[in-house]
Structure 1
């Protein structure tokens, strides 16, 4: 019986801690800035980690758990399909940054 109560207690603690952790994915336009920041984020390179973390912190999140390039076809409803945002041989790219509290 003690084992069963301990198991329930442990499960309650785990459930409470997961409920307090908030995760949100932000989709942002990945625009070339001349410094290579866009490539760090889009390619998931380590140089993009600080950029992603700063982005999350600017939105009151503690950390960035992931960042990657997102194909416009993966995004539903709010972003034009691939090729729709191209001008002068340059097409908009998007990056997903996952932030956690």
Structure 2
């Protein structure tokens, strides 16, 4: 009886773990490509949805749940802010894309 209860417990635990989606946030450099996709991603506009989805799928995730511009201080604090240390806007902006399996 005890082994049956233990087996049921582990099955329930495994089922609850399988129901939870794996989520990962990718931080990428937001480099202008001339097509405006970088601005769609950075602003979180609807036009960036396909690019974010393609990024997630290329890493074996099923969907992109969000995407937005990330302030360099949000990352590690070691990335310089564009206005402070980058002449003429030469530094990259960064985008966070949240992917789920």
TM-score (norm 1): 0.76
3-state secondary structure, aligned to 2:45: coil
Contact 1:52 1:67 (C-alpha < 8 Å) held by counterparts: yes
User: Does 1:33 pair with 2:33?
Assistant: yes
What is the number of equivalent residue pairs in this alignment? 88
Alpha-carbon RMSD across the aligned residues, in angstroms, is 2.1
Query: Per-residue CA shift, 1:32-80, capped at 9, x if unaligned?
Result: 1111011000000000000000000000001100000000010116x52
Matches of 1:30 and 1:89, distance apart in 2: 13
Contact 1:66 1:98 (C-alpha < 8 Å) held by counterparts: yes
The Cα of 1:85 is off from its aligned counterpart by 6.2
User: Does 1:15 pair with 2:16?
Assistant: yes
- Matched with 1:62 is 62
Structure 2, unaligned stretches of length 5 or more?
1-8
Structure 1, unaligned stretches of length 5 or more?
1-8
Contact 2:80 2:86 (C-alpha < 8 Å) held by counterparts: no
3-state secondary structure, aligned to 1:91: coil
TM-score (norm 2): 0.76
Change (3 A) 1:26 1:85: farther
Matches of 2:92 and 2:60, distance apart in 1: 27
- Matched with 2:45 is 45
